[in-house]
Homo-oligomer: A and B are copies of this chain.
Amino acid sequence: MDFAFTDEQEMIRESAQDFLADVSTSAAVRAAMATELGYDPALWGRICNELCWQAIHIPEEYGGLGLGFVELTILLEQMGRRLLCSPFLSTVGLAANALLLAGDEEQKRQWLEPIAEGRLTATLAWAGRRGRQDAGAVEVQAQAQADGDGFVLSGVARYVPDGHSADLLIVAARAPGSEGTAGISLFAVPADTAGVERRWLPTMDQTRRQAQIRFDGVRLGREALLGEAGEAGAALEKTLQLAAVCVAAEQLGGAQAVLDLTVDYTRERVQFGRPVGGFQAIKHRAADMMLQVETSRSAVYYAACVADEALFGETSCGELPLAASLAKAWCSDAYFYCAEESIQLHGGVGFTWEYDPHLYFKRAKSSESLLGAASWHRERIAQAIL
């Protein structure tokens, strides 16, 4: 047991922090979020080519760096801290894990290698229009083709992160008449496949794009199927759990950022003849924010260790569902709390477009509902312990 970063992990953290402080400035974020693509392709190119972050936890046999989930988490925390606009979560935190968990050797090689090389962005399309975010949310239907040699996808996936721009869609679809996690298949579908209609859904949080994707009788060959037909429910659930840990890490970074913003602002801002940060009520609230940040940190890195074991370990690691729900529930509340306090403690400028707290506040809200709200995750835990 050693619950601290190794020297190498600390180096990764520092270099990510320094790099993002340079490139993901407030101005850069605002420029990226004003585009329909939603991120700066040149910056994404630097990340892929100079830093290879997209390859961080992809095994070496598929062209990745072969590091662990903790290292992935470290990057996500720093990205969340700087509101980096990028297809990282969708490509690495969703699609790559789905491929790792559900693909066969050939599929992994086919798709993970271009991801690891930075040549391919990807995402996971799973939730339908009913507002759920778990594996039971799948609404797209997959029917075996009459000749038995492929599938036809029909239906709508909504809230797909970077769904309008990803090169590859990992699509969760279900057998007609199935429910919950039963009957679910995963498919690797190039976004330019005939019958795939993608529409950008502009969102309150402009730092992460969402799309609706309509599958209008999309015909797929057998090779698009990851794993066995109708048997991917467990892999999808595990993918979503790993992604929940990823989002929790981003949330931790965001919470840290708004705490830092708030402390800096209140130290500078003078009212009633004193820096407002010297008023005890403000200090106590900043202290409560720090408590949320530090407990989130404990939650995230605990969950990251569990996720690492679940993804790469020798055992099946039954703790992942609990750890993922714990981290997502806690960090969702913590980030939202810190972000709203940040607006409030900034006073008048806190709700202007010009200052940054609102960017984090909106990101906190969108991250809260992404992959299931806190109360949903608590209920999942209740099911396990009660």
A146: interface (CB < 8 Å): no
A282 contact set on B, CB distance < 8 A: 280
Contact with B along A256-285 (1 / 0, CB 8 A): 000000000000000000000001111110
A284 contact set on B, CB distance < 8 A: 281
A106 to chain B, nearest CB (A): 53
Q: How large is the interface on A (under 10, 10 to 19, 20 to 34, 35 or more residues)?
A: under 10
A281 contact set on B, CB distance < 8 A: 280-281, 283-284
Those of A101-133 within 8 Å (CB) of chain B: none
- Chain A contact surface mostly: helix
A279 contact set on B, CB distance < 8 A: 280
A275 to chain B, nearest CB (A): 13
A285 to chain B, nearest CB (A): 9
**How far is B281's CA from A28's CA once the two chains are assembled, in angstroms?**
38
CB closest chain-B residue, reference A279: B280
**How far is B281's CA from A280's CA once the two chains are assembled, in angstroms?**
5
A283 contact set on B, CB distance < 8 A: 281
**How far is B280's CA from A283's CA once the two chains are assembled, in angstroms?**
10
**How far is B281's CA from A281's CA once the two chains are assembled, in angstroms?**
4
**How far is B280's CA from A284's CA once the two chains are assembled, in angstroms?**
10
**How far is B90's CA from A188's CA once the two chains are assembled, in angstroms?**
70
CB closest chain-B residue, reference A283: B281
**How far is B282's CA from A279's CA once the two chains are assembled, in angstroms?**
11
**How far is B281's CA from A284's CA once the two chains are assembled, in angstroms?**
7
A374 to chain B, nearest CB (A): 18
**How far is B281's CA from A283's CA once the two chains are assembled, in angstroms?**
8
Those of A271-303 within 8 Å (CB) of chain B: 279-284
CB closest chain-B residue, reference A282: B280
Those of A213-262 within 8 Å (CB) of chain B: none
A141 to chain B, nearest CB (A): 32
**How far is B284's CA from A282's CA once the two chains are assembled, in angstroms?**
10
Contact with B along A85-96 (1 / 0, CB 8 A): 000000000000
A371 to chain B, nearest CB (A): 27
**How far is B201's CA from A366's CA once the two chains are assembled, in angstroms?**
51
**How far is B284's CA from A283's CA once the two chains are assembled, in angstroms?**
12
Contact with B along A171-191 (1 / 0, CB 8 A): 000000000000000000000
CB closest chain-B residue, reference A287: B281
**How far is B280's CA from A280's CA once the two chains are assembled, in angstroms?**
5
**How far is B279's CA from A279's CA once the two chains are assembled, in angstroms?**
9
7 pairs, CB–CB < 8 Å, chain A vs chain B: A279-B280, A280-B280, A280-B281, A280-B282, A281-B281, A281-B283, A281-B284
Of all A-B residue pairs in the complex, the 7 with the closest CB atoms, nearest first, are A280-B280, A280-B281, A281-B284, A281-B281, A279-B280, A281-B283, A280-B282
